Amino acid sequence: MAKEVKQKTTLRVKSICVFWVAVCVLFLYSCERPLHKNTFVITGTYVEVISPDPRAAGIVYQEFKRLDKVFNSYDPDSEISRLNNTYNVPFKVSGDIIRALELSREVEVLTKGAFDVSYGAIYSFWKDLIKRGNIQSLPKAKQIKQLKKLCGSKYIEINSKKSTVLIRKKGLKIDLGGIAKGYIVDKAVSKLKENGINSALINAGGDIYCLGKNKGRPWTLGLRDPEDAAAIIKKEDLVDLAIATSGDYEQFFEYGGRRFSHLIDPRRGYPVESNIVSVSVIGENCVIADSLATAFFIMGSETAKDFLSEGYYAVTVFVVTKDKDGKHIEVLN
């Protein structure tokens, strides 16, 4: 089991915009069988596991460690990194890559391109630009247009029977950052179930799954005020449900008196500009909640309402916005 790393909690929480926190401290030692709380950091993600079963954290950690070698784009030896270094040659991949890409394609089609993992070249460009800070001017449309030529899911061929992926566009980079963490959480939950564990909460940097109940009652999560860490502005009780959040609190930049999110709209190639602070999605699994939270933030609440009216997924959505009158929460389902 990895050593608990408490000091990194606040920094990581702020950087990834974690608004939902487990509100179960009062119950930790209230029964004969205490809850075991363990934390570890892997690939820069702070992971918390709470369960009455002492085996839970170790099982979750091992699954995260296994899948880190698959999805960690910062590791040159990971599966996704090696795939991204190929061109026009079928590359043998694991079932995890195949499934993640298939799910990504499904969400891409349903959201009409608001979520698209093939735009890694665009995402990397903006990530580096924002990281440098002090942006003096926005990139010209011509530059973005050239980068977009390196993107497109039509250039990614998935062969599930042969377990291969073929990238047909030189320079195309697959970015699974908007879906991989949710996928890993779901796989960790499956491992817990395989080992007979039916009560646990996994929080992977804001991607949360509540397995079973917490001492006979639902797991209670609180929606934190992004500007006041001590304030809870909404609570939700969850049983066998996931919740994931996308937001731009402390992850934005300002230019020309306008505020831009760090989240990039792949359809335009530019950062999202809106009054949305965060979007949280509750669903049956974390991988869909994770990807839809990103897509809905990019789409905006009105388009998200149209999407939900089609009934593709059974989800509940919380949209937090901010204007001159303060913060507002809109619930969509």
pLDDT (tens digit, 9 = 90+) per residue, 171-219? 999 999 999 999 999 999 999 999 999 999 999 999 999 999 999 999 9
Q: What is the mean pLDDT of residues 304-321?
A: 95
Q: What does the pLDDT read at residue 23?
A: 56
Res. 43 pLDDT band, cuts 50 70 90: confident
Place of tokens 């363990």: 38
Taking a C-beta distance cutoff of 8 angstroms, is the pair 331, 315 a contact?
no
Tell whether the model's pLDDT for residue 31 goes beyond 60: no
Each residue of 275-292: pLDDT tens digit?
Answer: 898 899 999 999 999 999
Tell whether the model's pLDDT for residue 264 goes beyond 80: yes
* Residues listed for the chain: 333
| Percent of the chain predicted with pLDDT > 70 | 86
Taking a C-beta distance cutoff of 8 angstroms, is the pair 211, 201 a contact?
yes
Tell whether the model's pLDDT for residue 18 goes beyond 60: no
Res. 26 pLDDT band, cuts 50 70 90: very low
User: Encoding tokens for residue 292?
Assistant: 């839809």
DSSP string of 112-166, one letter each residue: TTSS-TT-HHHHHHHHHHHHH----SPPPHHHHHHHHTT--GGGEEEETTTTEEE
The three-class DSSP label of residue 304 is helix
Q: What does the pLDDT read at residue 137?
A: 79
Show the DSSP H helices in the chain as ranges: 9-16, 56-71, 79-84, 95-110, 120-132, 141-148, 180-194, 286-299, 301-309
Res. 13 pLDDT band, cuts 50 70 90: very low
Q: What is the CA radius of gyration of the chain?
A: 20
| Percent of the chain predicted with pLDDT > 90 | 69
Query: Would you give the DSSP letter of residue 267?
Result: T
Each residue of 108-159: pLDDT tens digit?
Answer: 999 999 999 999 999 999 988 888 777 777 889 999 999 999 999 999 999 9
Distances (CA, A) of 135 to 9, 266, 277, 332: 29, 20, 21, 35
CA distance from start to end of the chain:
39
Distance CA(229)–CA(14), nearest Å, equals 10
Taking a C-beta distance cutoff of 8 angstroms, is the pair 220, 24 a contact?
yes
| 274 vs 143, higher pLDDT | 143
Query: Would you give the DSSP letter of residue 206?
Result: T
User: Encoding tokens for residue 303?
Assistant: 């388009």
Q: What is the mean pLDDT of the chain?
A: 88
Distance CA(294)–CA(115), nearest Å, equals 7
Q: How many helices (H) and strands (E) does the chain have?
A: 9, 18
Distance CA(206)–CA(201), nearest Å, equals 12
Distance CA(4)–CA(27), nearest Å, equals 21
Q: What is the mean pLDDT of residues 4-28?
A: 39
